Amino acid sequence: MKSFDSEKRQPKTVNETRIRVRYAETDQMGVVYHANYFVWFEIGRVELFRQFGFRYKDMEREDDCYIAVVFARCRYKAPVHYDDEVVVRTTLTHVRDKVIRFGYELRSTEGKLLAQGETTHVVADSKMNSKRLPEKFLKIFRAAAGAP
């Protein structure tokens, strides 16, 4: 799925992943525990990569390329409850040689905004040394972020 960021940019690639809230993800009141949103963001990232035609697991194994989280935030807009179905919308919002930023929206199946978030990642090798994102991924990610 594509969405337009602005008239000067290419359309952004958006991944939409549906998740059914499990009982184990909720607190005593039946409301999703706040940390689970970050788990759902990761699910969205992994599925976005699959949409690009590769698996994150292969990126690590074949290219010794990892994306380590260095910043994460979530703004909670409305509670999510046990057995609700939610949609995680994931986009690439910023891509540089060694830094990648993802944006997230969590919506009800009716379209209500439930949460917004972002994560920033640095590119590293298996020893956690900074490295440049391989060109094959850089090209895909820049196109997906709507780079001109």
Res. 4 pLDDT band, cuts 50 70 90: very low
Residue 40 belongs to a domain: yes
- Its domain, for residue 131, covers 12-142
pLDDT at 3 over 60: no
The CA-based dihedral angle spanning residues 139, 145, 78, 85, taken in that order and rounded to the nearest 10 degrees: -50
pLDDT at 1 over 90: no
Q: Give the pLDDT of residue 147.
A: 77
Q: Which of 27, 58, 97, 125 is catalytic?
A: 27
The CATH number assigned to the domain holding 53 equals 3.10.129.10
Q: Give the pLDDT of residue 25.
A: 97
Residue 1 belongs to a domain: no
Known catalytic membership, residue 83: no
Q: Which residues fall within 8 angstroms of residue 100, CB to CB, at 6 or more apart?
A: 67, 92, 94, 120, 121, 123, 133, 141
pLDDT digits (tens, 9 = 90+) for 87-139: 999 999 999 999 999 999 999 999 999 999 999 999 999 999 999 999 999 99
Angle at 54 between CA 108 and CA 124, to 5 degrees: 95
Whether 92 and 84 have beta carbons less than 8 Å apart is answered as no
Residue 3 belongs to a domain: no
Q: What is the pTM for the complete model shown?
A: 0.90
> Out of 5-19, 33-47, 90-104, which region has the weakest mean confidence (pLDDT)?
5-19
Residue 125 belongs to a domain: yes
* Domains held by the chain: number: 1
Task: Pick 145 or 5 by higher pLDDT.
Answer: 145
Average pLDDT over residues 72-100: 97
